């Protein structure tokens, strides 16, 4: 007992200055040095002979000297480690700037920071190995591989449908096969609930990544387009005439569901999907217009599977891209560029499909979509009031088309001013994009 208490008293009274300067390191070193000696003295089989002539004070002073030496060695070791860490950091910085693959490094300038005077944030992206990519994609959350199997089927199914673009309506029809394919795509979106994702959207180069609110909205808008395909199938099976009021009901129901989901995640989880994206203004404007054009096309209600399937394809592939980006398996600019290309290619396919099936429909849809985008983006029109107005306008615009959608006589030309209105609407969109550009892009300071 004396052998344990005496060293502690010595540390407390004979070495206060050294211990006060570096308390944690000194006490740790003292215990490291003294503990073996105390333990060895307490073991009968390994007794250390004590000096019988030494007084208790001399023994205490000896232990205090050992504590002082241990503290000094600890401080020296800490300084050496700090110097070595600084050297390693400088070497790593040199290696980062002198890289043999400059394409793997990119600098992202965020509008969220540059608009407030911040500097560009560098993002270093390295191509992951196949082993690392497999480990990040194959997770324990999908233990039965349900999401992967559904995704694999949808990839093969999409390739098959895209190979049949044209008058055949991608091979869809009022059949059980079509309903089964629609169900698989719906199950793929719903199976994303198997995975845990961040509640809050990340900023900067990670803003193009999956978060909780976007997952809910992606599922809602995917199911919206799939519901339109189911409606077309049911009308075809039962031989019913198109009921365009159901289109408006699906549109408003999806908007209400989206608002409910946004409120359910709370203030921290809410984010504007496109406007908070870390991308150039022109790119964000394109994405916003395409989203509004999709809603306008659904409201217009052409009874053609292919158009709505293209919307499903773009949304589901975009969700997959966001997942890859969140796991840093693709670079930021590549992900945004691929999504932009998907929207342009999808719009081209929709233009082709509508042109061969309904004369004049693309001009009407383009005009109405651009008008809604100009009112929503340029004038900040209330969402529900805007689409209620567009539903009324679309009802009368649809009647100016020839059959099968319109009321004109077969062979008659549609409203003669639609081409001019389409050109005018595109010019208005360009003007809105120029007016809503960030102040820094026009040379102003904020």
* 21/96 Cα distance (integer angstroms): 38
Same domain, 35 and 174: no
Q: Return the structure tokens found at 222.
A: 């995917």
Let me know if residue 123 belongs to a domain: no
**pLDDT at position 410, please?**
62
Q: Which token pair is 213?
A: 């609110």
Calpha distance 279→401 (Å, rounded)? 38
Residue in the structure block whose two tokens are 């540059």:
114
Nearest-angstrom CA–CA distance, 302 and 368: 14
Domain identity same for 305 and 408? yes
> Is position 103 within any domain?
no
Which has more pLDDT, 264 or 206? Answer: 264
Contact in structure between 266 and 201 (CB atoms under 8 Å): no
Kindly report the backbone phi and psi dihedral angles of residue 107, in degrees, each rounded to the nearest multiple of 5, phi listed first: -110, 125
Are 220 and 251 a contacting pair, CB within 8 Å? no
pLDDT digits (tens, 9 = 90+) for 309-365: 999 999 999 888 888 887 788 888 888 889 889 888 988 888 888 888 888 888 899
Q: Which residue has the higher pLDDT, 75 or 106?
A: 75
Among 377, 329, 336, 269, which residue's Cα sits nearest to residue 109? Answer: 336
Report whether pLDDT(19) > 70: no
Kindly state whether residue 195 falls inside one of the protein's structural domains: yes
| Angle, vertex CA 147, rays to CA 145 and CA 152, nearest 5 | 95
Confidence at residue 127, expressed as pLDDT on a 0 to 100 scale: 75
CA-angle at 223, arms to 218 and 229, nearest 5°: 140
In terms of pLDDT, which residue wins out, 205 or 92?
Answer: 92
Which pLDDT value is given to residue 399? 86
Last residue of a domain, one of 20, 54, 87: 87
**Which tokens is 258 given?**
């989206």
Model confidence band, residue 94 (pLDDT cutoffs 50, 70, 90): low
State how far the Cα of 385 lies from the Cα of 412, in Å rounded to an integer: 34
Same domain, yes or no, for 253 and 386?
A: yes
Task: Answer with the residue of higher pLDDT: 95 or 167.
Answer: 167
* Nearest CA-CA partner of 367 in 302, 304, 423: 423
Which residue would you say has higher pLDDT here, 79 or 184?
A: 184
Q: Which domain holds residue 60?
A: 2-87
User: If you count them, how many residues does the chain have?
Assistant: 446
Query: Mean pLDDT score of the chain, rounded to an integer?
Result: 78
**Greatest extent of the chain over all pairs of C-alpha atoms, in Å:** 125
- Residues 59 and 158 both lie in one domain: no
pTM of the model: 0.68
For residue 108, the SS3 value is: strand
SS3 percent helix, strand, coil of the chain, rounded to 5, is 70, 0, 25
In a domain, 106, yes or no: no
d(CA 333, CA 206) in angstroms, rounded, equals: 11
C-alpha torsion 123→127→130→135, nearest 10: -10
Which residues are within 8 A (CB) of 141 and not within 5 positions of it... i.e. 6 or more apart? Answer: 194, 195, 196
Beta bridge partner(s), residue 57 = none
State how far Cα 117 lies from the chain centre: 25
Q: In this predicted model, which residue has the larger pLDDT, 211 or 310?
A: 310
Q: Which two tokens stand for residue 325?
A: 């980006």
pLDDT reported for residue 5? 45
Q: Is residue 224 part of a domain?
A: yes
pLDDT tens-digit readout, 139-176: 777 778 889 899 999 999 999 999 999 888 999 999 99
| 347 DSSP 8-state letter | H
Let me know whether 64 and 159 are in one domain. Answer: no
Helix (H, G, I), strand (E, B) or coil at 129: coil
Contacts of residue 190, defined as CB under 8 A and 6 or more positions apart, other chains included, come to 219
Task: Indicate whether 124 belongs to any domain.
Answer: no
- What is the number of structural domains in the chain? 2
Of the pLDDT bands very low, low, confident and very high (cuts 50, 70, 90), residue 124 is low
**Any idea which residue has 């042109």 for tokens?**
355
pLDDT at 21 over 80: no
In a domain, 134, yes or no: no
Is 160:351 a contact under the CB 8 Å cutoff? no
Q: What is the mean pLDDT of residues 264-271?
A: 84
In a domain, 303, yes or no: yes
Using the predicted structure, report yes or no on whether residue 371 has a pLDDT greater than 90: yes
Share of the chain above pLDDT 70, in %: 74
pLDDT, one tens digit per residue, over 383-406 is 999 999 999 999 999 888 887 787
């Amino acid at each position: 007992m004396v052998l344990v208490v005496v060293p502690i008293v010595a540390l407390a009274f004979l070495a206060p200055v050294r211990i006060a300067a570096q308390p944690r390191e000194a006490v740790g070193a003292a215990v490291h040095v003294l503990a073996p000696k105390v333990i060895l003295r307490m073991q009968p089989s390994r007794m250390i002979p004590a000096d019988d002539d030494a007084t208790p004070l001399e023994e205490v002073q000896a232990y205090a000297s050992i504590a002082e030496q241990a503290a000094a060695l600890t401080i020296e070791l800490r300084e050496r480690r700090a110097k070595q860490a600084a050297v390693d950091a400088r070497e790593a910085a040199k290696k980062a700037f002198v890289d043999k693959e400059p394409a793997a490094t990119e600098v992202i300038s965020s509008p969220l920071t540059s608009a407030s005077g911040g500097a560009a944030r560098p993002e270093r992206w390295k191509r992951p190995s196949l082993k690392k990519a497999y480990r990040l994609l194959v997770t324990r959350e999908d233990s039965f591989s349900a999401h992967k199997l559904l995704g694999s089927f949808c990839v093969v199914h999409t390739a098959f449908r895209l190979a049949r673009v044209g008058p055949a309506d991608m091979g869809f029809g009022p059949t059980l096969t079509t309903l089964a394919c629609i169900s698989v795509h719906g199950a793929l979106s719903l199976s994303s609930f198997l995975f845990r994702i961040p509640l809050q959207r990340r900023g900067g180069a990670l803003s193009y990544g999956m978060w909780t609110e976007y997952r809910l909205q992606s599922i809602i808008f995917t199911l919206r387009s799939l519901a339109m395909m189911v409606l077309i199938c049911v009308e075809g099976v039962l031989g019913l005439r198109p009921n365009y009021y159901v289109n408006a009901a699906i549109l408003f129901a999806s908007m209400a569901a989206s608002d409910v989901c946004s409120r359910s995640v709370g203030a921290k989880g809410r984010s504007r999907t496109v406007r908070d994206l870390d991308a150039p203004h022109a790119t964000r404007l394109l994405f916003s217009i395409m989203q509004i054009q999709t809603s306008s096309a659904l409201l217009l209600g052409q009874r053609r599977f292919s158009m709505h399937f293209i919307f499903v394809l773009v949304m589901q592939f975009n969700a997959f891209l966001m997942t890859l980006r969140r796991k840093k398996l693709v670079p930021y600019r590549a992900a945004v560029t691929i999504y932009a290309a998907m929207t342009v290619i999808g719009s081209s396919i929709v233009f082709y499909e509508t042109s061969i099936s309904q004369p004049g429909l693309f001009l009407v849809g383009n005009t109405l979509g651009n008008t809604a985008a100009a009112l929503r983006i340029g004038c900040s029109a209330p969402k529900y009031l805007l689409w209620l107005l567009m539903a009324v306008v679309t009802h009368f615009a649809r009647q100016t088309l020839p059959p099968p959608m319109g009321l004109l006589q077969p062979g008659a030309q549609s409203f003669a001013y639609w081409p001019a209105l389409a050109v005018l609407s595109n010019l208005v969109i360009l003007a809105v994009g120029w007016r809503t550009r960030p102040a820094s892009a026009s040379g102003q300071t904020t």
